[in-house]
Every structure is written in C-alpha cells, then in structure tokens.
Amino acid sequence: MSAQDQIKETVSNNDVVLFMKGTKTMPQCGFSSRVAGVLNFMGVDYNDVNVLADEELRQGIKDFSDWPTIPQLYIKGEFVGGCDIITEMTLSGELDTLFADNGVKFDKDAADKIREANAE
C-alpha cells in the first residue's frame, strides 16, 4: 500500500487523526507535543501517527495535505491545520465548535481551562 493510500485510509477510518513526530504519550518535537497536549488534556480520543517511523509517510502527509509542516490534525477526514492553527482555534473556541459539529467527544471544562490559563 502506498503512503498516500495509507494516509487516505487512516483519515477516513478515524474521527480524529494527528500526524506527528513521536506519539501522543512521547512526542518528539515541541509543536507535536503542544497539539497532542491540547488533545490529551481535552480528553479527545484520537489516532496518533508517528511520521518519524516511516520516511515515505513523513513526506507523504506533506504531499497529501499540501502543507509543509508536521504536526497535522485531521477531523472526520478533513485537514484542520498544524500547531499554530490548532493553538489559535483552541484559544478562540473554534476547535470546540469543530469537535461539537462533528460529534467528537471532548471535555469542555478542560478546553475552558486552557483558555483561562492563556487569558491575558
């Protein structure tokens, strides 16, 4: 199976997928750690894909999304964004809305705590 087919199958068969460097329990870069940390803290059930384990997959996800960086978050088969976008969406509440609109369970109180902790 090609990397493109593998990626397509993964994002189609899982509600939430994070292509990242490392794993959700052991991220291997700061950006991946930040996004995984948000998802973990919010109690989101997601599939983590370690792009460091497969060079073809690492390049393949960049080609698949036409997005040059990792991590990459997908919800219901749609590319949402990387670290900066997910951070902004978390702080604005847009990520909560996206999860709710797509029937993805998350802890709203935890999401509110993230926003409170980052309020100016």
Q: Would you say 8 and 64 are in contact if contact means Cβ atoms under 8 Å apart?
A: yes
Q: pTM, whole model, 2 decimals?
A: 0.96
Q: Where are the domains of the chain?
A: 3-117
Report pLDDT digits (tens) over 71-96. 999 999 999 999 999 999 999 999 99
- DSSP string for 29-55: SHHHHHHHHHHHHTT---EEEEGGG-H
- Which CATH code, of 3.40.47.10, 3.30.230.10, 1.20.120.160, 3.40.30.10, is assigned to 3-117? 3.40.30.10
What are residue 72's phi and psi, to 5 degrees?
-135, 130
Task: Give tens-digit pLDDT for 95-115.
Answer: 999 999 999 999 999 999 999
